[in-house]
Amino acid sequence: MLSSIFEQFVEESPISVMARVLMERIFCSERLDNIFETHATAQYQQDLLFSSQVDLMSLVVCGIQCGSPCCF
């Protein structure tokens, strides 16, 4: 069963919930890292995985977090 908080989001903003689920499914960490490893020619991963960079950039692109000092 869904938690009451999650159910409230589903009832009040179903599009937001569907978009979030879709993004989590499309940008699955293992999938992104596999794509990077398969197609990278000169690039390499060391400490920071490609999926971690995508996670960080998705926060910025979706407006959840920005680099502006006014956001802190």
Tens of pLDDT, residues 27-72: 788 888 888 889 888 887 777 888 888 888 877 777 665 555 554 4
pLDDT averaged over every residue in the chain: 77
- For residue 37, give the nearest of 48, 25, 24, 49 by alpha carbon: 49
Query: Taking the CB of residue 36, how many other CB atoms lie within 10 A of it?
Result: 17
Query: Taking the CB of residue 17, how many other CB atoms lie within 10 A of it?
Result: 14
- What pLDDT is stored for residue 72 in this prediction? 45
- What pLDDT is stored for residue 23 in this prediction? 81
Query: What's the whole-model pTM score?
Result: 0.51
- What pLDDT is stored for residue 16 in this prediction? 80
24-33 burial string, b = 16+ CB within 10 Å, else e? eeeeeeeebb
